[in-house]
Amino acid sequence: MKITAVKLVQLQGRMEFPGRFWEERLVRPLDLYPEHAAGDEQRLPQVSDGVYRMESIFVRIETDSDGLVGIGGPVDHHQAYIIGRQLRPLLVGHDPLAIERIWDRMYRQQIHGRKGTAMMAISAVDCALWDLKGRWANAPVYRLLGGPVRESLPAYASMLGFSVEPERAAERAKEYAGKGYRAQKWFFRHGPWAGKEGIEKNTALARSVREAVGPDVDVMLDAWSSWDVPYCETMGERLVEYRPRWLEEPVLADRVESYAEVHRRLPFPISGAEHEYTRWGIKQLLDHDALDVIQPDIYWAGGISEMLKIAAIASTYDVQLVPHGHSTPATAHFLVAQPANLCPYIEYLIKWNEIHQFFLKNPLKPENGIVTPRDEPGVGMELDPDKIEQQRELEL
């Protein structure tokens, strides 16, 4: 069997959603600069009241074997360009089941793209190849990964995009606890530049959520790489009484020593590595004893193939692996093949995963806070023609 084509297919449609989809954004490293700190963010174009324009790009890998294909995505235009211009020549004419060989060739070619957008492009191709392999084997991908170790996964509700005003956050926190989620993650809006007022508002968010969900629900808190060591220490003194399950990405990704210092100073777990890539990047953080929980994304850090290696490394360092949740289907297939003590949760981004799964025929969503991957062959990336209003292949 050989790969005959690698296509980048752009889909457009419309999603109905009452009211404002993105209620609030998170704090960002760029907020250090006032012109960025004050900016709003509405990343989903609104067509009319309650209707938003949806656009996604998917990778489609075709073969000469009786219509067998693999689908990955969504990806953005930058990743699509790399796939179309740089990775496609390494794929066409090659055996799609030789995933390790393909991965290593892509990685070696991208010597100037070992992280960031180039690695995200490699990840999308890798996930598409695993989808293809599952279809070829007529089996769900988790069975090809050695699973299932378990049949389902507890999801934590990742509340990016909801209002962080204390009363509204408390209402949402109660709502999602009532939907069966035993854990939630909330995103701070303020960093060191916001001074005492920002400290008070961040503290009020943590307080309101903890009081809303009670003592038995895990509460995670995310600083999205936007704090520094002194600010973490100040906030740590404020947050400890609310018993965070973890503080996520407290400092910029490349500041490994700062991560380690925060880990030493704060009295609760530290997580990170959402914006880290490959086994080598993860190992650097673990060698510095910087994290209790690592969070690389399957669609960013190297794909399913690389996440298997990252899981092995995490187990040797006795840290937990809770991947960032760009792709619910791919992440779920990977996680049910991993032991619960190593990978206790799957992240479900309440808003983002609605966007990323919009064009899927059978989107994978939690039921009563639990995610159960389907038994269909592959990863579960079949597209829904009823949601596609326009479709075109990108010429790259």
Cα separation of 108 and 353, whole Å? 31
* Residue 270 burial (10 A CB sphere; 0-12, 13-18, 19+): buried
Cα separation of 60 and 127, whole Å? 11
The one catalytic residue in 324, 326, 333, 356 is 324
What DSSP letter does each residue of 363-392 carry, written as one string? ----BTTEE----SSBSS--B-GGG-SEEE
- Cα–Cα distances in angstroms (integers) from residue 233 to residues 202, 247, 377, in the given order: 14, 12, 48
Phi and psi at 270, nearest 5°, equal -115, 135
8 A C-beta contact, residue 103 and residue 122? yes
Beta carbons within 8 Å of 148's beta carbon, 6+ residues apart: 142, 336, 337
Cα separation of 56 and 76, whole Å? 8
Is 288 one of the annotated active-site residues of the chain?
no
Cα separation of 332 and 307, whole Å? 12
Query: Annotated catalytic sites, by residue?
Result: 324
